[in-house]
A and B are shown apart, each in its own frame.
Chain A
Amino acid sequence: MYTQAYSARSISSGMVGFFRYLRSHGFLIGLRETTEALEVAHTSLVRDKHRLKTALAALCCTSREELALFDRLFAAYWDTSPMDLAERKNQVTVRGQVRSKINTSLVLLGRGKGTGKEEEEATSVSGANAEERLRETDFSKIREIDEKPLEQLAERLFREFAVKMRRKLKATRKPGKVHLARTVRKSIESGGDPLKLFYTTRKLKKRRLVILLDVSGSMDKYSFYLLRFIYALKQEFSNLEAFVFSTRLISITRALRNMKLDSVLREVSHFASHWSGGTRIGECLRDFNRQYSKYVLHGSPAVIILSDGLETGNPVLLGSEMIKIRRRSKVLIWLNPLKGMKDYQPLAGGMKAALPSVDEFRAAHNLKSLLELEDLLTHV
Chain B
Amino acid sequence: MERFHPASPESIIKALSDLGYVAEEDLAIVLFLVLTLRKPLLLEGPPGVGKTEVGLALSGLLKAPLIRLQCYEGLDLNQAVYEWNYQKQLLSIKLLESSGSSLRDKEDLIFSEEYILKRPLLQAITQADQSPVLLIDEIDRADEEFEAFLLELLSAFQLSIPEIGTVKATHKPYVILTSNRTRELSDALKRRCLYHWIDFPDFDKEMRIVEKKLPGIEEKLLKQVVGFVQKLRSRELAKQPGISETLDWAESLMTLGYRALDQKTLDHTLGIILKSNEDIKMIREEGIESLV
> Footprint of B on A, CB under 8 Å?
28, 30, 33, 36, 39-40, 43-45, 50-51, 54-55, 57-59, 61-64, 66-67, 159-160, 163-164, 167, 173-174, 193-195, 197, 258-260, 262
Contact = CB atoms under 8 A, between A and B. Distances in A.
B29 A55 contact: yes
Contacts of A50: 25
Given A28-B191, A164-B183, A193-B90, A259 B29 contact: no
Contact of A36 (B8, B37, B87, B94): B37
A259 B26 contact: no
B244 interface: no
Given A55-B29, A174-B74, A260-B238, 13 more contacts: A43-B36, A58-B30, A58-B41, A59-B194, A62-B187, A66-B195, A159-B182, A160-B183, A163-B182, A163-B183, A193-B91, A260-B278, A262-B236
B44 interface: yes
Given A160-B184, A163-B182, A195-B87, A54 B30 contact: yes
B66 to A, nearest CB: 22
B183 A44 contact: no
Pick from B73, B90, B195 the residue with the most CB of A within 10 Å: B195
A164 B183 CA distance: 9
Given A45-B32, A163-B183, A62 B195 contact: yes
A134 B143 CA distance: 28
B7 A44 contact: yes
Nearest to B37: A36
Pick from A50, A57, A160, A197 the residue with the most CB of B within 10 Å: A57
A50 B9 CA distance: 12
B147 interface: no
Given A160-B184, A195-B90, A58 B196 contact: yes
Contact of A174 (B25, B76, B86, B197): B76
B259 interface: no
B7 A51 contact: no
Contacts of A62: 187, 190-191, 195
Contacts of B238: 260
Pick from A36, A40, A45, A58 the residue with the most CB of B within 10 Å: A58
A157 to B, nearest CB: 10
A193 B37 contact: no
A67 B7 CA distance: 26
Contacts of A55: 29-30, 32-33
B39 interface: yes
Contacts of B236: 260, 262
> Chain A interface mostly helix, strand, loop or mixed?
helix
26 contacts: A40-B36, A44-B8, A45-B9, A51-B9, A54-B25, A58-B30, A58-B41, A58-B196, A59-B194, A62-B191, A63-B44, A63-B184, A63-B195, A64-B44, A67-B195, A67-B197, A159-B183, A163-B182, A164-B183, A167-B143, A173-B74, A174-B74, A195-B90, A197-B86, A260-B238, A262-B236
Nearest to B94: A193
Contacts, number: 79
A22 B8 CA distance: 27
Contacts of B191: 28, 30, 33, 62
Interface in B189-245: 190-191, 194-197, 236, 238
B113 to A, nearest CB: 22
B29 A36 contact: no
Interface of B: 7-9, 25-26, 29-30, 32-33, 36-37, 39, 41, 44, 73-74, 76, 86-87, 90-91, 94, 143, 182-184, 187, 190-191, 194-197, 236, 238, 278
A58 B29 contact: yes
A228 to B, nearest CB: 15
B90 A194 contact: yes
Nearest to A194: B90
Given A51-B9, A59-B194, A160-B183, A45 B29 contact: yes
B183 A36 contact: no
Contacts of B74: 173-174
A77 B44 CA distance: 27
B155 to A, nearest CB: 9
A64 B9 CA distance: 22
Pick from A59, A62, A67, A195 the residue with the most CB of B within 10 Å: A62
Contacts of B278: 258-260
Contacts of B194: 58-59
Nearest to A192: B94
Contact of A59 (B33, B87, B143): B33
Contacts of B39: 36
Nearest to A193: B90
B25 to A, nearest CB: 8
Contacts of B44: 63-64
B10 to A, nearest CB: 10
B183 to A, nearest CB: 5
A269 to B, nearest CB: 18
Contacts of A164: 183
Shortest 10 CB-CB contacts between residues of A and residues of B? A62-B190, A58-B194, A54-B29, A173-B74, A58-B30, A64-B197, A54-B26, A61-B195, A160-B183, A44-B8
Contact of A28 (B8, B143, B187, B196): B187
